[in-house]
Amino acid sequence: MSNIVDSLAGQIASRVRTERERRRWTLAQLAVASGVSQAMISRIERGESSPTAVVLGKLSAAFQLSVASLFALAEGTQDDTDAVPGVRRQADAAQWLDPDTGYQRRQITSPHFPAEIAEIRLPPGARVPYPAAAFAFVRQVVWVLDGHLTFHHGDAVHELDAGDTIELGEPTHRIFANTTDTTCRYAVILTRGTRP
């Protein structure tokens, strides 16, 4: 998996730079908009540092993209000319590992599919916060597949077990937390609304 993780990390670096340049922002402007230091953004764009889930959440919020959209756009830079249309092998799926929490994300759908689906593995004790702006322009469902997820949606806290789902509407700050001693596995299903 590490090769896939490393490959996607490079594509995320390229996507962050592309999104910044598309807006004609300097590193300093993105730093102000995201709350991520200019030095860190520079290291990410050069592939010298792998961003954490929290940093990606801040960057995607600054771009007014969801984290899922940022991943899907990064994955879309891969060369899939040899792929069989409609078939995605598990071994070929884009995967990413948060170097800080051990959070693992596997993109299930391709960037061309109208909904984005990702499988997340949240290790014991992990806590991943995202700002409200990271969820702008999207509708989202979280579906717990295995384990237990403590999900903070604004000021509300939801304890979700395997089989439970939560549909999310208006963007607010969100925290995905695993307060147990076993890995929590969940799916995020997202559709885009009006794009920025």
Report yes or no on 131 lying in a domain.
yes
Please determine, for residue 84, whether its predicted confidence score (pLDDT) is greater than 70: no
**Backbone phi, psi, residue 78, to 5°:** -70, 150
Same domain, 102 and 12: no
CATH number, domain of 144, equals 2.60.120.10
**Four-residue CA torsion sign, 109, 1, 145, 88:** positive
Mind listing the pLDDT tens digit for each residue in 21-70?
Answer: 999 999 999 999 999 999 999 988 988 888 888 888 889 888 887 776 77
Q: Tens of pLDDT along 128-171? A: 998 887 777 678 899 999 999 999 999 999 999 999 999 988 88
**Is residue 121 in a domain?**
yes
DSSP 109: S
Q: Is 84 within the bounds of a domain?
A: no
**Sorting pLDDT into bands at 50, 70 and 90, what band is 194?**
low
